[in-house]
Amino acid sequence: MQANDKVVALHPEYAAQYGPATVYKALHDMWYQVGFYDNTMAEVPREEMYFVTPEACEEIKEAILVHEDKLVNRPVVARKDEDGIYYLGKLFSN
């Protein structure tokens, strides 16, 4: 892996889910700094990253964004990290 490679990597903010990302730099012991489609930056181990073509990375990103847009203003049940309790809510756009 090297800088600017396109990958699908384990996303740090979504439990056991992967997202399209760009490798920014190699770190130590096969860890890499990556930037995800949603501007989240993370350090990810090599075993949780998979090469994709730039075209596939863009296609995956667009599919995710389309589906996320469909959820705006819809009711959700979400867990608040601070207390671990689930609450009813509504999803808002950034």
Q: What is the pTM of this model?
A: 0.77
How many C-beta atoms surround the C-beta of residue 93 within 10 A? 8
CA distance linking residue 71 with residue 85, whole number of Å = 21
Listed by start position, the domains of the chain span 6-90
Q: State which CATH number among 2.70.180.20, 3.30.1490.20, 2.60.120.10, 2.30.30.140 fits the domain covering 6-90.
A: 2.30.30.140
For 33-64, write each residue's pLDDT tens digit.
999 999 999 999 999 999 999 999 999 999 99
How buried is residue 18: exposed, middle or buried, by Cβ count under 10 Å (0-12/13-18/19+)?
Answer: middle
- Residue 94: pLDDT above 80? no
Nearest to 48 by CA among 68, 71, 76, 23: 23
